Amino acid sequence: MSSVRDVEIRPLSAIKGGMTEFYTPQSSHETMLVQIPPQIIDDLFVHKTQTDQLLVVKGSFVLVVLVNRRYQYIPLSDRKPTVVKIPPGVLHGAINLSSEPCVLVNAVLRHRPSIEKDYKPHHPPFPYDIEKAKAVLKFDAQVDRAIA
């Protein structure tokens, strides 16, 4: 498990039954299916009342987290089942540079009732480094191929 300022990044473990692998779902108060369109560079969001627990089930994208006025780029894909836990107060956004939509599950933990500001986008205070986002996706794909 690794972390970026309280953001937890944890590979999911599986139990194998024959040819099938079973992954334990995340406990949550609410589960959302989220689709990130292809070729999108999204604004940032910050939730005050919830913790997001993200798991990509189809495709890939780069999760952008703003920490200490620096962007962290976290590649996520369906090839490597990983849960990213984003606590309240952390600005985060999405970059999907592929030609396919990315589908993920957000197992939301509610700390109190949601408020309108939880879903209001924030314009990034400075531009994303798209080349760095491309590089982390490429590196992640190369590691996957090397392991396979």
Domain harbouring 24, CATH code: 2.60.120.10
pLDDT the model gives residue 145: 55
pTM of the model: 0.88
pLDDT the model gives residue 95: 98
pLDDT the model gives residue 86: 96
SS3 49: coil
Instruction: Report the 10 Å Cβ neighbour count for 58.
Output: 12
Residue 81 lies in domain: 2-147
Q: How far apart are CA 132 and CA 127, in angstroms?
A: 12
Provide the number of structural domains found in the chain: 1
**Which one, of 29, 32, 31, 46, lies nearest residue 109 by Cα?**
29
**Which one, of 50, 52, 104, lies nearest residue 81 by Cα?**
104
For residue 13, give both structure tokens: 């473990």
pLDDT > 60? residue 4: no
For residue 138, give both structure tokens: 């490429």
For residue 97, give both structure tokens: 């540079």
Q: How far apart are CA 17 and CA 98, in angstroms?
A: 33
pLDDT > 70? residue 147: no
**Which one, of 5, 131, 116, lies nearest residue 65 by Cα?**
5
Confidence class for position 114, pLDDT limits 50, 70, 90: confident
pLDDT > 70? residue 11: yes
58-109 confidence digits (pLDDT tens)? 999 999 999 989 999 999 999 989 999 999 999 999 999 999 999 999 999 9
Instruction: Report the 10 Å Cβ neighbour count for 60.
Output: 21
